[in-house]
Amino acid sequence: MSGVNERAHKAAHRTPDYTSSGPGDLSVHRMPGHFIRRLQQVAVRLFGDCVGPELTPVQYAALCAIAQTPGAGQAALAALIGYDRATIGGVIDRLEQKGWVARSGSPEDRRLNLLSITPDGQAALARAAPAVLAVQDKLLEPLDQQEREAFERMCLKLLAHHLG
């Protein structure tokens, strides 16, 4: 058993709205915003199931970005993956506690916490990578190749519009 999000999962089984949809339904069950919330829920649960509890989706993204952009400050890192400055601090705290990330001050700009990934962090990242890729695959499992590409293209289009 996965154990992740068991109650909301069981709850969803009783929701009749994702298999048959009556017309004239003004509730949240017909709103794209609600779909996205539910998909996010599904994605997080899949991540927990496949990767394990040592690393959350948020922590994986941060670790990944730190590995790819060594020497960035917290604000720059947050900018890369779309986090809030107020949130990233706690995320890095937890990664630092695990010994996967190191903070070091910058001599040039004493406001900055330069971030770098440790060898242990590299190992954790490498360990998690296959499972993370598996999550993406499972997430889009019910879609055929063409649909997957269309879905990703539309997501990017939406993001480019709203963020770009």
37 versus 157: smaller Cβ distance to DNA:
37
Q: Pick from a copy of itself, DNA, none: which does 124 bind, CB < 5 to 8 A by kind?
A: none
Would you count residue 43 as binding DNA (CB under 7 A)? no
Query: HEC states along the chain?
Result: CCCCCHHHHHHHHCCHHHCCCCCCCCCHHHCHHHHHHHHHHHHHHHHHHHHCCCCCHHHHHHHHHHHHCCCECHHHHHHHHCCCHHHHHHHHHHHHHCCCEEEEECCCCCCCEEEEECHHHHHHHHHHHHHHHHHHHHHCCCCCHHHHHHHHHHHHHHHHHHHC
Write down the least CB distance from residue 81 to a copy of itself, Å: 6
Give the integer Cα–Cα distance in Å for 44 and 91.
16
Write down the least CB distance from residue 31 to DNA, Å: 14
Q: Pick from a copy of itself, DNA, none: which does 101 bind, CB < 5 to 8 A by kind?
A: none
Binds a copy of itself (CB under 8 A): choice among 2, 3, 8, 149: 8
Would you count residue 31 as binding a copy of itself (CB under 8 A)? yes
Binds DNA (CB under 7 A): choice among 34, 85, 153, 157: 85
Q: Stretches 107-115, 116-124, 133-141, 154-162: which one binds DNA (CB under 7 A)?
A: 107-115
The size of the interface with DNA (CB under 7 A), counted in residues, is 36
Tell me whether residue 53 is exposed, middle or buried, using C-beta atoms within 10 angstroms of its C-beta: 0 to 12, 13 to 18, 19 or more. Answer: exposed
54 versus 152: smaller Cβ distance to DNA:
54
Write down the least CB distance from residue 65 to a copy of itself, Å: 7
Binds a copy of itself (CB under 8 A): choice among 72, 95, 101, 135: 135
